[in-house]
Amino acid sequence: MNELSSLARPRVVPPLDTDFRPAALAVREFAEAVRQSGRAADLVIALERGDGQISVYKTCCFEESAETEAINCQYTERLVKFLLWRSGGWKIVVGGPKSIGEYIKAAYSPGGIRAWDAEFMSGVYEKPFTVEVTDAKNVPEPNEGTVRLGGHFDGCRIGFDLGATDRKVAAVIDGQAVYTEEVVWNPRDASDPNYHYNEINAALKSAAAHMPRVDAIGGSAAGIYINNRPRVASLFRGVPKELFETRIANLFLDLQREWGGIPFEVVNDGEVTALAGSITLGDGAVLGIAMGSSEAGGYVTPNREITTWLNELAFCPVDYNPNAPVDEWSGDFGCGVQYFSQQAVFRLAERAQISIDPSLGPADKLKWLQTLLRNGNAKARSVWETIGVYTGYGIAHYANFYELRHVLILGRVTSGDGGGIIIEKAQEVLRKEFPELAERVKLHLPDESSRRVGQAVAAASLPVIQKTK
């Protein structure tokens, strides 16, 4: 046994990806092989992020040996990568066989295979990235944190959702959306921060025109936001670094000032996806997956709180095929962005030999493919069936890291007939491969209106309006 991918052959094969090797199956088979070997060793991974918060994950691997070193390291490398982008962190502590810890340390060193991830996290948390190697018994205890945010619908509120191809806004009065709007834009190619500021402000003004006043503003956007400040966000990739730090980092603080200092909260769009689900369902243990220009993730705990984890599922590995498609940003293979997004649709459409007008923008390409699907095109259907199979195996893998009762799927990729196909195939995977999950976890696809503007409405509920005495 020397290849983790050999443990991951699916019973439900994606129509357009016969080489798919689901992470969920590899992890399950690896754990079973370790158990049957009688040579298990404890493996404990801790990740420290801001304010001393620590996430800890405990599992097992093979005891130290030349025979099992390669697969131990493969397993741990994929595990650590997932945990890092789920929880976030500037320090990793690896407790277990020394060869594994040294491998992870080399991977996240300058020039290592995960150097990009280390540099990214260093920028997010503004600390040098560190990997410590120790014994499983010496890993620090967990110190998690959650924040009570969202679910407030009193007063006149604006909610906005910023995607890579469109921006959405909603005017909400006492919990009822009285106006919604979608506008196509192109923020990733814009180098002038004024473009972003003016476009977002125009959306806010449009919503405000449909209410007697504005009491609070809540926003959902792709990227990582700390105290309303973008730390890393694909929406602003076209802005030069110096302008990012001087203008974009304070963009939403400047907008708050323009709107008179009223309560103003901006969080990652995946968190708002999960929040929308929790509000609608009246329950917790909700994982939200937004399939848009990228994949966004968010989680609401069983106690209906939002975590302080990053939940950046776009960078979490779900396919252990070493020849899986590569994420253009991180340079890693098999990550969620290539499986649960518009990028997945376009990649699979090419495999299905569907010709797309190259002059169309991403939003129009997706609409054109969705029209083919609606008209009964078999090739287009195979694209969404493939994403549905990915989704089933992806949910099973996510269940290794999140306590789940509900999975809510949103985003432009799920619009039209595609959402139903995705859910149907995902449920087939769960029934055939993971029957216990099929019984325990419910998959939800909101109605068409909620799928497209639900995040903006939920985002409006983020801020707390202080009551005057």
Task: Check whether 292 has a pLDDT greater than 90.
Answer: no
| Shared-domain flag, residues 232 and 369 | no
Confidence of residue 453 (pLDDT cuts 50, 70, 90): low
Task: Check whether 454 has a pLDDT greater than 80.
Answer: no
User: Does 11 fall in a domain?
Assistant: no
DSSP 8-state class, residue 244: I
Total domains in the chain come to 3
| Shared-domain flag, residues 89 and 136 | yes
User: Does 6 fall in a domain?
Assistant: no
Domain range for 181 is 147-271
Is the C-alpha dihedral spanning 199, 204, 207, 208 positive or negative? negative
Alpha-carbon gap, residue 223 to 196, rounded angstroms: 15
* Complete DSSP assignment for 320-356: --TTS-B-TTT--BSBGGGTSSHHHHHHHHHHTT---
| Shared-domain flag, residues 139 and 208 | no
| Shared-domain flag, residues 292 and 421 | yes
User: Does 3 fall in a domain?
Assistant: no
| Shared-domain flag, residues 252 and 196 | yes
The pair of three-digit structure tokens given for residue 166, joined into one six-digit string: 């469109």
The pair of three-digit structure tokens given for residue 149, joined into one six-digit string: 């945010």
Q: Which residues pair with 92 in a beta bridge?
A: 47, 131
Q: Which of 110-114, 194-198, 264-268 has the lowest mean pLDDT?
A: 264-268
User: Does 325 fall in a domain?
Assistant: yes
- The percentage of residues in the chain with a pLDDT greater than 90, rounded to a whole number, is 78
Task: Check whether 455 has a pLDDT greater than 80.
Answer: no
Alpha-carbon gap, residue 213 to 209, rounded angstroms: 9
Beta-strand relationship, 264-268 and 176-184:
unpaired
pLDDT at 447: 67
Q: Please state the pTM of the whole predicted model.
A: 0.85
**CA-to-CA separations, 415 to 18, 412, 424, in angstroms, rounded:** 26, 5, 15
User: Does 29 fall in a domain?
Assistant: no
Region 420-444 average pLDDT: 97
User: Does 291 fall in a domain?
Assistant: yes
User: Does 393 fall in a domain?
Assistant: yes
Q: Is 188 exposed, middle or buried (0-12, 13-18, 19+ CB in 10 A)?
A: middle
- Per the prediction, the chain carries an average pLDDT of 93
- pLDDT, tens digit, 9 for 90 and up, residues 319-344: 999 999 999 889 999 999 999 999 99
Q: What CATH number should be reported for the domain holding residue 401?
A: 3.30.420.40
| Shared-domain flag, residues 427 and 311 | yes
| Shared-domain flag, residues 122 and 210 | no
**CA-to-CA separations, 247 to 195, 198, 250, in angstroms, rounded:** 11, 13, 6
pLDDT at 281: 86
Question: Which of 215, 238, 271 is the C-terminal boundary of a domain?
Answer: 271
| Shared-domain flag, residues 168 and 119 | no
| Shared-domain flag, residues 309 and 376 | yes
Task: Check whether 1 has a pLDDT greater than 60.
Answer: no
| Shared-domain flag, residues 379 and 265 | no
User: Does 5 fall in a domain?
Assistant: no
Question: Which of 143, 178, 198 is the C-terminal boundary of a domain?
Answer: 143
| Shared-domain flag, residues 263 and 320 | no
| Shared-domain flag, residues 182 and 135 | no
Question: Which of 143, 166, 185 is the C-terminal boundary of a domain?
Answer: 143
pLDDT at 13: 98
